[in-house]
Protein backbone atom coordinates (compact mmCIF):
# COMPACT_ATOMS: atom_id res chain seq x y z
CA UNK A 1 0.00 0.00 0.00
CA UNK A 2 1.06 3.58 -0.54
CA UNK A 3 0.55 7.12 0.63
CA UNK A 4 -0.77 8.91 -2.47
CA UNK A 5 -0.48 12.60 -3.30
CA UNK A 6 -4.02 13.27 -2.13
CA UNK A 7 -3.24 11.51 1.18
CA UNK A 8 -0.39 13.97 1.75
CA UNK A 9 -2.77 16.87 1.07
CA UNK A 10 -5.18 15.38 3.61
CA UNK A 11 -2.35 15.14 6.14
CA UNK A 12 -1.39 18.81 5.69
CA UNK A 13 -5.05 19.78 6.16
CA UNK A 14 -5.21 17.56 9.27
CA UNK A 15 -2.07 19.30 10.61
CA UNK A 16 -3.70 22.70 10.11
CA UNK A 17 -6.85 21.48 11.92
CA UNK A 18 -5.05 19.88 14.85
CA UNK A 19 -2.72 22.86 15.33
CA UNK A 20 -5.71 25.19 15.27
CA UNK A 21 -7.55 23.04 17.85
CA UNK A 22 -4.45 22.87 20.05
CA UNK A 23 -3.23 26.43 19.58
CA UNK A 24 -4.23 27.47 23.09
CA UNK A 25 -2.72 24.32 24.62
CA UNK A 26 0.62 24.81 22.81
CA UNK A 27 0.72 28.46 23.79
CA UNK A 28 0.05 27.53 27.41
CA UNK A 29 2.95 25.06 27.36
CA UNK A 30 5.19 27.73 25.82
CA UNK A 31 4.05 30.33 28.37
CA UNK A 32 5.41 28.07 31.14
CA UNK A 33 8.97 27.79 29.77
CA UNK A 34 9.16 30.19 26.82
CA UNK A 35 7.37 33.29 25.58
CA UNK A 36 3.89 31.86 25.02
CA UNK A 37 3.71 32.10 21.25
CA UNK A 38 4.20 28.54 20.00
CA UNK A 39 0.52 27.79 19.41
CA UNK A 40 -0.01 31.15 17.71
CA UNK A 41 3.11 30.63 15.57
CA UNK A 42 2.09 27.17 14.38
CA UNK A 43 -1.52 28.15 13.77
CA UNK A 44 -0.48 31.22 11.75
CA UNK A 45 1.98 29.15 9.73
CA UNK A 46 -0.49 26.43 8.81
CA UNK A 47 -3.20 28.96 8.01
CA UNK A 48 -0.78 30.43 5.47
CA UNK A 49 0.00 26.91 4.22
CA UNK A 50 -3.71 26.23 3.63
CA UNK A 51 -3.93 29.37 1.48
CA UNK A 52 -0.91 28.26 -0.60
CA UNK A 53 -1.85 24.58 -1.02
CA UNK A 54 -4.46 25.05 -3.78
CA UNK A 55 -1.70 26.43 -6.06
CA UNK A 56 0.26 23.15 -5.85
CA UNK A 57 -2.47 20.57 -5.15
CA UNK A 58 -2.07 19.03 -8.61
CA UNK A 59 1.74 18.77 -8.34
CA UNK A 60 3.99 16.00 -7.01
CA UNK A 61 4.46 15.28 -3.30
CA UNK A 62 7.91 16.88 -3.31
CA UNK A 63 6.51 20.18 -4.58
CA UNK A 64 3.73 20.08 -1.99
CA UNK A 65 6.08 19.45 0.96
CA UNK A 66 8.59 22.06 -0.29
CA UNK A 67 5.78 24.62 -0.57
CA UNK A 68 4.72 23.85 3.02
CA UNK A 69 8.33 24.32 4.16
CA UNK A 70 8.88 27.62 2.33
CA UNK A 71 5.55 28.97 3.59
CA UNK A 72 6.39 28.09 7.21
CA UNK A 73 9.82 29.73 6.91
CA UNK A 74 8.31 32.93 5.54
CA UNK A 75 5.33 33.18 7.94
CA UNK A 76 6.39 31.70 11.30
CA UNK A 77 8.74 33.68 13.49
CA UNK A 78 10.81 32.35 16.35
CA UNK A 79 12.73 29.12 16.54
CA UNK A 80 10.01 26.74 15.39
CA UNK A 81 9.26 28.36 12.00
CA UNK A 82 12.66 27.80 10.40
CA UNK A 83 12.92 24.38 12.06
CA UNK A 84 9.55 23.10 10.81
CA UNK A 85 10.28 24.84 7.51
CA UNK A 86 13.48 22.82 7.20
CA UNK A 87 11.57 19.69 8.21
CA UNK A 88 9.13 20.00 5.30
CA UNK A 89 11.76 21.25 2.82
CA UNK A 90 13.93 18.21 3.49
CA UNK A 91 10.96 15.83 3.30
CA UNK A 92 10.13 17.52 -0.01
CA UNK A 93 13.64 17.04 -1.40
CA UNK A 94 13.36 13.29 -0.76
CA UNK A 95 9.92 13.19 -2.42
CA UNK A 96 10.81 15.13 -5.57
CA UNK A 97 8.74 13.96 -8.53
CA UNK A 98 6.89 11.33 -6.52
CA UNK A 99 3.10 10.88 -6.75
CA UNK A 100 3.07 8.20 -4.05
CA UNK A 101 5.25 7.07 -1.15
CA UNK A 102 5.76 3.55 0.13
CA UNK A 103 6.94 2.91 3.69
CA UNK A 104 10.60 3.13 2.71
CA UNK A 105 10.01 6.44 0.88
CA UNK A 106 8.24 7.86 3.96
CA UNK A 107 11.05 6.65 6.23
CA UNK A 108 13.66 8.32 3.99
CA UNK A 109 11.61 11.53 3.87
CA UNK A 110 11.06 11.65 7.64
CA UNK A 111 14.66 10.71 8.38
CA UNK A 112 15.92 13.51 6.16
CA UNK A 113 13.38 15.95 7.63
CA UNK A 114 14.55 15.21 11.17
CA UNK A 115 18.23 15.32 10.15
CA UNK A 116 17.52 18.79 8.74
CA UNK A 117 16.01 19.93 12.06
CA UNK A 118 19.04 18.56 13.94
CA UNK A 119 21.50 20.21 11.54
CA UNK A 120 19.76 23.57 11.76
CA UNK A 121 18.97 23.61 15.50
CA UNK A 122 21.96 21.60 16.75
CA UNK A 123 19.79 19.96 19.43
CA UNK A 124 20.72 16.53 20.69
CA UNK A 125 18.41 13.92 22.17
CA UNK A 126 17.56 14.92 25.72
CA UNK A 127 17.90 18.69 25.12
CA UNK A 128 14.10 19.01 25.58
CA UNK A 129 13.13 20.04 22.06
CA UNK A 130 11.04 18.79 19.15
CA UNK A 131 13.92 16.44 18.32
CA UNK A 132 12.96 14.36 21.37
CA UNK A 133 9.61 13.54 19.75
CA UNK A 134 10.80 13.36 16.13
CA UNK A 135 13.85 11.17 16.52
CA UNK A 136 12.11 8.24 18.30
CA UNK A 137 9.48 8.33 15.54
CA UNK A 138 12.19 7.74 12.92
CA UNK A 139 13.70 4.89 14.96
CA UNK A 140 10.27 3.31 15.34
CA UNK A 141 9.68 3.46 11.56
CA UNK A 142 12.99 1.70 10.96
CA UNK A 143 12.00 -1.14 13.29
CA UNK A 144 8.59 -1.40 11.61
CA UNK A 145 10.26 -1.64 8.19
CA UNK A 146 12.40 -4.52 9.48
CA UNK A 147 9.27 -6.18 10.88
CA UNK A 148 7.41 -5.77 7.54
CA UNK A 149 4.47 -3.90 9.07
CA UNK A 150 1.90 -2.08 6.91
CA UNK A 151 2.35 1.67 6.41
CA UNK A 152 -0.74 2.35 8.53
CA UNK A 153 0.57 0.28 11.45
CA UNK A 154 4.11 1.63 11.11
CA UNK A 155 2.98 5.24 11.15
CA UNK A 156 0.69 4.65 14.15
CA UNK A 157 3.61 3.12 16.07
CA UNK A 158 5.87 6.02 15.08
CA UNK A 159 3.28 8.49 16.42
CA UNK A 160 3.18 6.52 19.68
CA UNK A 161 6.98 6.73 19.88
CA UNK A 162 6.75 10.50 19.34
CA UNK A 163 4.17 10.73 22.14
CA UNK A 164 6.47 8.88 24.52
CA UNK A 165 9.33 11.16 23.48
CA UNK A 166 7.12 14.19 24.17
CA UNK A 167 6.18 12.92 27.66
CA UNK A 168 9.82 12.11 28.37
CA UNK A 169 10.71 15.81 28.00
CA UNK A 170 8.68 16.74 31.12
CA UNK A 171 11.34 16.16 33.82
CA UNK A 172 14.26 17.34 31.68
CA UNK A 173 16.15 20.62 31.88
CA UNK A 174 16.09 22.47 28.55
CA UNK A 175 19.44 22.93 26.85
CA UNK A 176 18.28 24.64 23.63
CA UNK A 177 16.00 27.54 22.73
CA UNK A 178 14.31 30.02 25.04
CA UNK A 179 13.43 27.39 27.64
CA UNK A 180 17.17 26.89 28.27
CA UNK A 181 17.34 30.43 29.71
CA UNK A 182 15.30 29.08 32.67
CA UNK A 183 17.88 26.42 33.53
CA UNK A 184 16.62 24.06 36.24
CA UNK A 185 13.24 25.85 36.33
CA UNK A 186 12.43 24.39 32.90
CA UNK A 187 12.16 20.93 34.51
CA UNK A 188 8.63 19.68 35.19
CA UNK A 189 7.13 21.12 31.99
CA UNK A 190 6.40 19.39 28.68
CA UNK A 191 8.24 20.91 25.73
CA UNK A 192 5.87 22.78 23.37
CA UNK A 193 7.82 21.90 20.20
CA UNK A 194 7.91 18.20 21.10
CA UNK A 195 4.15 18.48 21.59
CA UNK A 196 3.49 20.06 18.18
CA UNK A 197 5.74 17.42 16.58
CA UNK A 198 3.72 14.66 18.20
CA UNK A 199 0.47 16.28 17.02
CA UNK A 200 1.78 16.47 13.43
CA UNK A 201 2.86 12.82 13.42
CA UNK A 202 -0.38 11.68 15.09
CA UNK A 203 -2.27 13.55 12.36
CA UNK A 204 -0.34 11.48 9.81
CA UNK A 205 -1.23 8.26 11.65
CA UNK A 206 -4.91 9.22 11.84
CA UNK A 207 -5.03 10.26 8.17
CA UNK A 208 -3.12 7.26 6.83
CA UNK A 209 -4.55 4.57 9.15
CA UNK A 210 -5.86 2.50 6.23
CA UNK A 211 -2.75 2.80 4.03
P1 LIG B 1 10.46 30.65 20.16
O2 LIG B 1 11.19 29.80 21.18
O3 LIG B 1 11.40 31.42 19.31
O4 LIG B 1 9.40 31.49 20.80
P5 LIG B 1 8.46 28.74 19.45
O6 LIG B 1 7.85 29.09 20.76
O7 LIG B 1 7.55 28.77 18.27
O8 LIG B 1 9.73 29.63 19.16
O9 LIG B 1 9.05 27.27 19.53
C10 LIG B 1 9.65 26.76 20.70
C11 LIG B 1 10.05 25.32 20.46
O12 LIG B 1 11.07 25.26 19.48
C13 LIG B 1 10.63 24.63 21.68
O14 LIG B 1 9.62 24.07 22.48
C15 LIG B 1 11.55 23.57 21.09
O16 LIG B 1 10.88 22.34 20.90
C17 LIG B 1 11.87 24.12 19.73
N18 LIG B 1 13.27 24.53 19.65
C19 LIG B 1 13.82 25.66 20.11
N20 LIG B 1 15.15 25.69 19.83
C21 LIG B 1 15.42 24.52 19.19
C22 LIG B 1 16.61 23.94 18.64
N23 LIG B 1 17.78 24.57 18.67
N24 LIG B 1 16.50 22.73 18.05
C25 LIG B 1 15.31 22.08 17.99
N26 LIG B 1 14.17 22.59 18.48
C27 LIG B 1 14.23 23.77 19.09
MG1 LIG C 1 7.87 30.71 21.93
Predicted local confidence at residue 201, as pLDDT: 98
Number of domains in the chain: 1
pLDDT digits (tens, 9 = 90+) for 112-167: 999 999 999 999 999 999 999 999 999 999 999 999 999 999 999 999 999 999 99
Rounded to an integer, the average pLDDT of 78-90 is 96
pLDDT range class, residue 202, cuts 50, 70, 90:
very high
pLDDT of residue 28: 97
What's the pLDDT tens digit per position in 3-17?
Answer: 999 999 999 999 999
Kindly state the average pLDDT of the residues 75-96.
Answer: 96
**What pLDDT was estimated at residue 31?**
96
Q: What is the pTM of this model?
A: 0.98
Mean pLDDT rounded to a whole number for the chain: 97
Please check whether residue 36 is in contact with residue 52, taking contact to mean a CB–CB distance below 8 angstroms: no
**Ligand 1 site: residues with CB under 6 angstroms?**
30, 34-35, 37-38, 41, 78-80, 83, 117, 121-123, 129-131, 176-178, 191-194
Give phi and psi for 4, each to the nearest 5: -90, 165
pLDDT at 210: 82
Radius of gyration over every alpha carbon of the chain, rounded to an integer in angstroms: 16
For atom 6 of ligand 1, the residue with the nearest CA is: 38
CA distance 190 to 179: 11
Q: Which CATH number does the domain housing residue 113 bear?
A: 1.25.40.340
The boundaries of the domain holding residue 73 are: 3-207
* pLDDT for residue 77: 83
For residue 30, the ligand 1 atom closest to its alpha carbon is 6
Amino acid sequence: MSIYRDDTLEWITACADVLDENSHYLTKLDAAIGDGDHGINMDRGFNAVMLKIPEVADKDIGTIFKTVGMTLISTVGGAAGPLYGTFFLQAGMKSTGKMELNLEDWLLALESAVAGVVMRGKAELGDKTMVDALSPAVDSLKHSMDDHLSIGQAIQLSAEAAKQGMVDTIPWVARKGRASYLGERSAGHQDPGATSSYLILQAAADTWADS
